Amino acid sequence: MNRITFTLLILLASACCLVSCNDKELLTENPKYFYTLDNVFSTSAQVDLAVVSCYSKVRKYYTLENDGKRYLLVWRGGNGTDMFDVSTIRRSLQFNDYGNLTPDTGDYKTIYADWYKLIASANLALYGASLEEISWDSEENRLYTIAQARFFRAYAYRNLGEEFGGVPLVTELTTTPRYDFVRESRLDTYQYAIDELEAILPDLPLTPPERGRIVRGAAQHNLVQLYIDKGVVLEAEGRTQEAQAAYSRAIEYGNEVIDGGVFHLMTERFGTRAKEDPKYYYDYTPDENGNLREDRTYASAGVRINGNVFWDLFQIGNQDYADGNYEAIWTIEIDYQANLDKDGASRLNFSRSFGPCFRDILPNDLIGLTPDVGGRAVTWIMPTAYTRDEIWSGVWSSDMRNSEACYRRTFLGNVPTSKYYGKVIPWSLMYRQGNSNRDAVDAAYTQCFPISCKIHLDSYIDDATGGNRTYIFRDDYAIRLSETILLRAEAKWRSGDLQGAANDINLIRRRAKCSYLVSSSDVGLELILDERARELMYEEIRWNTLLRMGGTVAVDRIREYAYWDAPRSASMKNFNLWPIPQTVIDTNKDAKIEQNDGWN
């Protein structure tokens, strides 16, 4: 089955076909050689390319296409939230030092602008689809093309509403400069996205016609989230009855996705490695020349890791609905061959961005770029104590997601001269416990940490072509059913159905074979956020999660769980929205755009 081709069409005008002409002809403007709004669309395939550009823009965010760009680490990686902070070697990328974060901070401007670029691409596709001269092979395909464009427009406004609050609604293609945009309310921004998604539901297929394409479940999932967003705003305004109606609608859409028969959680081993276990460790019995054996086994080091269904979810070839993964609602498509041939951005920059740098801290014991250390990591961001330890403590520890296959905490020395060669390196050594040098302890703690199976592999397919285990070549999840379930649990909690919320959370926990199942007395915002972290680490867009909660949830949790002390200083702002970029306010000279509270 074909994948979405993400390489964008570059429209080039050529004059080399002029065989005979005089000087006057050469100097006469000939518009047919230039693409304008009047002639850029002549076929339905060209309109679809405009839709593909929407997929491409979103893919950039999910894959961390631009290495080391802080705005991508913020949005996709959750840098600066309760879950992730920066290592000592990346302090310049810190995103929770509010003495330095202002409306002029470029990351806010870039994220804000990129959502409007996505909206512009969607509006362009909708313009093309509206042209009467475009011929379509079927009315169904025309409506599906329109539905995809409107989905991306709604998706952009959902993100803008959650991150920046009320924003200007640009619903048509803009061809001339404007300086009179007017902010809508946060509630109106959410409502616009809701209206868009509800309008396109009949035109979206139940299952992907092509890998990575939007399906009805993706729109319904976003509607669950948007109705919760709407309810939170209404509740803050004291409109309790309307808020409860919004939560009820969220639950209804959640029911359609979760109980509709199209999607379900994967509960048994499946996919390309269903009968295999992870192979992270080398055979530490030297060969005849005294060298490390390249074949990886389990027995020589006395360590064996058992695979499980959660590990299967993140193995190459297992992400798509078409491959039998029925909890995959929307996937970001990555193609290794396309990366080699023409699409250099078709890769997940995860091992490099998210992995630990043991080699910097333990040069005499644990070095290299091999799979046993997580590949070629440079640690752009690192998990906080909350993410790596606190959510897994006590009754929460017995959990498939916390197993060695899924969140590896065991590392064997790989330097032959080390006393730990082929043996487990204790965390007390990794963390330099007992060392009086605070800088050394900080460096160790922020560069050494457990590794999730979501960000590294036990085998990197680009080894054969000279790769250095920087990238992962597998599809990525934009929406997985488990997040829909956790959103429905949140909606039930907000509506007062604590047992219903517990039942939903236990759907996730039963799949993970947790020894502890939650009860109605456990249910609250803290539990919901903790369970999201356990299930969706390295997947969810944590900034959106925290900001959409309203109140001081984001600020309180950043203060509590950040590794570095900057958020606990006097410079910490009280906010539940990012600032409107100052350049947006300054350039909109013909209408006033108010700044968000806490950022003036």
Region 196-220: mean pLDDT is 98
pLDDT value for 139: 97
Of 403, 379, 377, 381, give the one whose Cα is nearest residue 392: 403
pLDDT value for 571: 79
Question: Between helices 216-236 and 186-200, what is the axis angle to 10°?
Answer: 150
pLDDT value for 217: 98
pLDDT value for 174: 85
Q: Is 60 exceeded by the pLDDT of residue 558?
A: yes
pLDDT value for 497: 98
Q: Is 50 exceeded by the pLDDT of residue 15?
A: no
pLDDT value for 464: 82
pLDDT value for 572: 85
**Domain map of the chain by residue range?**
299-306+334-474
pLDDT value for 14: 28
pLDDT value for 3: 56
pLDDT-based confidence at 294, cuts 50/70/90?
low
- Of 349 and 39, the one with more pLDDT: 349
Tell me: the pLDDT tens digits for 527-539? 999 999 999 999 9
Q: Range with the lowest mean pLDDT among 26-40, 283-297, 439-453?
A: 26-40
pLDDT value for 53: 97
Three-state DSSP state, 388: helix
pLDDT value for 341: 84
Whole-angstrom distance, CA of residue 246 vs CA of residue 525:
18
pLDDT value for 178: 92
Whole-angstrom distance, CA of residue 382 vs CA of residue 448:
9
Q: Is 80 exceeded by the pLDDT of residue 21?
A: no
Q: Is 80 exceeded by the pLDDT of residue 273?
A: yes
pLDDT-based confidence at 35, cuts 50/70/90?
low
C-alpha dihedral over 451, 542, 323, 216, to 10 degrees? 180
Tell me: the pLDDT tens digits for 252-268? 999 999 999 999 999 99
Three-state DSSP state, 451: strand
pLDDT value for 281: 79
What sign does the dihedral 164-387-454-356 (CA atoms) show? positive
Q: Retrieve residue 40's tokens.
A: 């850029």
Region 48-55: mean pLDDT is 97
- Of 321 and 7, the one with more pLDDT: 321
pLDDT value for 238: 98
Tell me: the pLDDT tens digits for 497-510? 999 999 999 999 99
Q: Retrieve residue 217's tokens.
A: 């479940």
Q: Is 90 exceeded by the pLDDT of residue 22?
A: no
pLDDT-based confidence at 168, cuts 50/70/90?
very high
- 276 contacts 307 by C-beta, under 8 angstroms: yes
Tell me: the pLDDT tens digits for 104-153? 999 999 999 999 999 999 999 999 999 999 999 999 999 999 999 999 99
pLDDT-based confidence at 293, cuts 50/70/90?
low
Task: Work out the percent of the chain whose per-residue pLDDT is above 90.
Answer: 81
pLDDT value for 292: 60
Of 325, 302, 316, 310, give the one whose Cα is nearest residue 347: 316
pLDDT-based confidence at 17, cuts 50/70/90?
very low
pLDDT-based confidence at 92, cuts 50/70/90?
very high
The average confidence (pLDDT) of the chain is 91
pLDDT value for 295: 60
Q: What angle do CA 559, 560, 561 make, to 5 degrees?
A: 100
C-alpha dihedral over 422, 427, 432, 435, to 10 degrees? -120
pLDDT-based confidence at 289, cuts 50/70/90?
confident
pLDDT value for 236: 97
Whole-angstrom distance, CA of residue 49 vs CA of residue 10:
10
Burial of 41 (0-12, 13-18, 19+ CB in 10 A): buried
Tell me: the pLDDT tens digits for 184-195? 999 999 999 999
